[in-house]
Amino acid sequence: MGERLKKKVAIITGAASGIGAATAELFAREGAVVLVADRNAAGAEATARRISPGGEQARALRVDVYEEADVQAMIRAALDAWGRTDILVNNAGVGSDMDIRSFTPDEFDRVLGINLRGPLLCCKHALPAMLDAGRGAIVNVASISSTCGIPGQSIYGPSKGGLLQLTRQLAVEFADRHIRVNAVSPGTVETPLIGGPVHDSERLSDEHKWLRARHPIGRFGQPVEVAAAILFLASDEASFITGANLAVDGGYTAQ
Ligand SMILES: NC(=O)c1ccc[n+]([C@@H]2O[C@H](COP(=O)([O-])OP(=O)(O)OC[C@H]3O[C@@H](n4cnc5c(N)ncnc54)[C@H](O)[C@@H]3O)[C@@H](O)[C@H]2O)c1
């Protein structure tokens, strides 16, 4: 057990699965207590039980980040259980491979609603308690699609571009009150969002082969590799870092 987040209270959205679950596990190993928030209640329970079977270090809560009442209840739950929120990780998100020629307003509302409105609501409701405490760290899980055009991501890309701009906006606005706001931008990571582990070349679709060839490191990432970057930005080791976008992409955006 490490101490990089000793006694910190962290809320992680989308923590039932993938990057969020790996982050919740790593945070707990580094001494944090974690609210495992996800709209998948059973998945959130499973993550929390795996981390802390007795519930001392992790609790699960069903939260749809699109719904303001759910988000309010999430912040309230952390305050009621542990008295404060030191860290918010806006990780909940959905993919979308819709080409603009198939654009539907419903898909736009679904993806922007979860990937951008969701983090905005979470920040809105986490900030008052962080401001009262005089400190806080927010980490947003953006994407290589925040800064790179990728065919087929006409809706997902703007949702993640908006999240990166929200990161910079809040970082500047709240820096003098000791709230740090940063982003990580993963390349392709083997989670259920992309169809699970795909390193088995038998299972690689043409799209996956195309994408893998664009990662100079020659492979996709693993959830824990993104979790390690989130941990760094959330910890006091990053005390002079705010408004940053940390690429965790095997070199994708270095090209
Ligand atoms: N996997 C990748 O290649 C990749 C690359 C770049 C960025 N990301 C981003 O990383 C984040 C985590 O994705 P992942 O790959 O671990 O996917 P995942 O599907 O494994 O996990 C996403 C989690 O978010 C939850 N979720 C979805 N909508 C929600 C909502 N409205 N309210 C609450 N929870 C909700 C899901 O139930 C799920 O548990 C996402 O924001 C995603 O856009 C992923």
Domain at 73, CATH number: 3.40.50.720
Instruction: Note if 156 is an active site residue.
Output: yes
Are 134 and 178 a contacting pair, CB within 8 Å? Answer: yes
Can you tell me whether residue 72 is helix, strand or coil? helix
- Do 139 and 91 belong to one domain? yes
Q: Is residue 82 domain-resident?
A: yes
**Closest residue CA from atom 43 of ligand 1:** 93
Are 9 and 32 a contacting pair, CB within 8 Å? Answer: yes
Q: Is residue 1 domain-resident?
A: no
Task: Find the 24 Cα to ligand 1 centroid distance in Å.
Answer: 13
Residue-wise pLDDT for 67-99, tens only, equals 999 999 999 999 999 999 999 999 999 999 999
Q: Is residue 254 domain-resident?
A: no
Residues with CB under 6 A from ligand 1: 13-14, 16-20, 38-40, 43, 63-66, 91-94, 114, 118, 141, 143, 186, 188-189, 191-194
| The pLDDT value given to residue 218 | 96
Query: What are the angstrom distances between the C-alpha of 59 and each of 1, 34, 56, 112?
Result: 19, 7, 8, 27
- Do 143 and 179 belong to one domain? yes
- Do 203 and 104 belong to one domain? no
| The pLDDT value given to residue 233 | 99
Instruction: Give the integer Cα–Cα distance in Å for 87 and 84.
Output: 9
User: Domain range spanning residue 208?
Assistant: 191-220
Best residue among 17, 140, 148, 245 to mutate for probing ligand 1, ranked by most atoms within 8 Å of CB: 17
- Do 87 and 198 belong to one domain? no
| The pLDDT value given to residue 134 | 98
Q: Is residue 136 domain-resident?
A: yes
- Would residue 243 be called left, alpha or beta, if left means φ above 0 and alpha means ψ between -120 and 50 degrees? left
| The pLDDT value given to residue 197 | 76
| The pLDDT value given to residue 201 | 65
- Do 41 and 92 belong to one domain? yes
- Do 73 and 144 belong to one domain? yes
Average pLDDT over residues 209-224: 95
- Residue 28 confidence (pLDDT) above 90: yes
- Do 127 and 214 belong to one domain? no
**222: confidence class by pLDDT, cuts 50, 70, 90:** very high
Average pLDDT over residues 152-164: 97
- Do 200 and 156 belong to one domain? no
| The pLDDT value given to residue 204 | 81
Q: Is residue 3 domain-resident?
A: no
- Do 54 and 112 belong to one domain? yes
How many structural domains does the chain have? 2
pTM higher than 0.85 for the full model? yes
